[in-house]
Amino acid sequence: MHIPAITGTGVYTPSQVITNAELVAAFNAYVDLYNTENAVDIDAGICDAKAYSSEGFIEKASGIKQRYVIDKQGILDPTVMHPLLRQRADDEPSLMAEIGMNAARQALDQAKKSSHDVDLVICAASNMERAYPAVAIEIQNLLGTGGFAFDMNVACSSATFGIQAAADMIRAGSIRSALVINPEICSAHLEWRDRDCHFIFGDVATATLIEREQDANSAHFKVISTRCATEFSNNIRNNNGYLRRSRPTGMADQRDMQFMQNGRKVFKEVLPLVSEHIARHMADGCVQASDLKRLWLHQANKTMNDFIGKKVLGRTPDPAEQPNILQDYANTSSAGSIIAFSKYSNDLQDGAKGLICSFGAGYSVGSVLVERQG
């Protein structure tokens, strides 16, 4: 059996930033427009007036201070409230492929490898911009890698589940290396007119190169073990699928075609699920809390991460032991824990162990135990 290792990572960060102040100003302008346009119905009790959002609430409830997006103009226009993305021709690279390739090239550069060294491309993300052909196959073609490619979707856990799939194929010997790519264009499936969630997400793409350890060209992270778990829940849901047209209501832009969640319930239910999952994964691998030098957790909510870090380590982790990036990037779905890993792992010493863990819709939890080599 071969030993898999993470030999490179890459992060594509869009150039446009929306601060909480800009976001709330645009949202509140939209609320004023909505309440004025619907004043008669609101007065008659037919519909409710919308309430303002607040910067104070957003930072306190989530820890988020800003988010990167591919188009901020449309999102901040109170008469639009979604990104405005150019329709691409079928013979142009799709947007997911373009940003995914950017991250993939960084991962290959870090590992000192070329696209010819890659046997498998997995595009693992919480939404695909089309059903087929697979975005992963488009990336395979654009990068010029060999082998095969496929898309997979496990919402926020897409990256860790993708890493497990790739690591298992490397262990079994069917491939030598894989790129797991996570282009997350969350701004296009967020309802920016809903104050309960309008602050949560941002855009990014990450990539992880996984190879046989013996093929690593430089310092890397040996994958000690991986573990995935799922448990069905409707508390995070998106109903925008191919059956949509066949509904009696047709393709009307309804709320359930965008991200929906019962955030409070998710918070309560996912915390024990994740803490127990990590505890079992560590126990089965005979890894003690004192062995773990770093936790790279899913980036949805700072309080949630503080709680999980404390539960896993049995004490309050130093900020450097459990780095958060959500204050800058917001929730970037499956990419969040990989951004944290990519930005805060190179300082670890030879032999240091760490844990990448994602959690979210499904529910799904994925964890990857790694050990620095070199």
What residues line the site for ligand CO8 (CB under 6 A)?
Answer: 53-54, 57-58, 61-62, 126, 155-156, 186, 189-190, 195-196, 199, 201, 236, 259, 261, 263-264, 266-267, 300-301, 331, 333, 360-361
Q: How far apart are CA 338 and CA 10, in angstroms?
A: 9
Strand locations in the chain, DSSP E? 4-12, 16-19, 66-69, 120-124, 148-152, 177-185, 203-212, 220-230, 236-237, 260-261, 292-297, 353-360, 364-373
CB-nearer residue toward ligand CO8: 339 or 361: 361
Residue nearest to ligand CO8 (CB): 360
CB contact at 8 A, 227 and 110: no
First-last CA distance in the chain? 22
Smallest gap from residue 23 Cβ to ligand CO8 (A)? 9
CB-nearer residue toward ligand CO8: 120 or 266: 266
Smallest gap from residue 230 Cβ to ligand CO8 (A)? 12
Q: Tell me the two tokens of residue 108.
A: 């290959």
CB-nearer residue toward ligand CO8: 126 or 145: 126
CB-nearer residue toward ligand CO8: 102 or 153: 153
Active-site residue 186, yes or no?
no
CB-nearer residue toward ligand CO8: 140 or 334: 334
Smallest gap from residue 157 Cβ to ligand CO8 (A)? 8
Residues 371, 214, 8, 356, Cα dihedral to 10°: -30
CB-nearer residue toward ligand CO8: 336 or 354: 336
Q: How far apart are CA 89 and CA 78, in angstroms?
A: 28
Smallest gap from residue 240 Cβ to ligand CO8 (A)? 11
Smallest gap from residue 177 Cβ to ligand CO8 (A)? 28
CB-nearer residue toward ligand CO8: 115 or 261: 261
168, 199, 178, 192: which is closest to 366 by C-alpha? 168
**Amino acid present at 214:** Q
Q: How far apart are CA 331 and CA 236, in angstroms?
A: 14
Smallest gap from residue 172 Cβ to ligand CO8 (A)? 29
Give burial (CB, 10 Å; 0-12/13-18/19+) of 205.
Answer: buried
Smallest gap from residue 183 Cβ to ligand CO8 (A)? 12
Give burial (CB, 10 Å; 0-12/13-18/19+) of 300.
Answer: buried
CB contact at 8 A, 219 and 374: yes
Q: How far apart are CA 331 and CA 121, in angstroms?
A: 24
Among candidate residues 123, 156, 186, 228, the one labeled active-site is: 156
CB contact at 8 A, 361 and 236: yes
CB contact at 8 A, 17 and 68: yes
Question: Residues with catalytic annotation?
Answer: 156
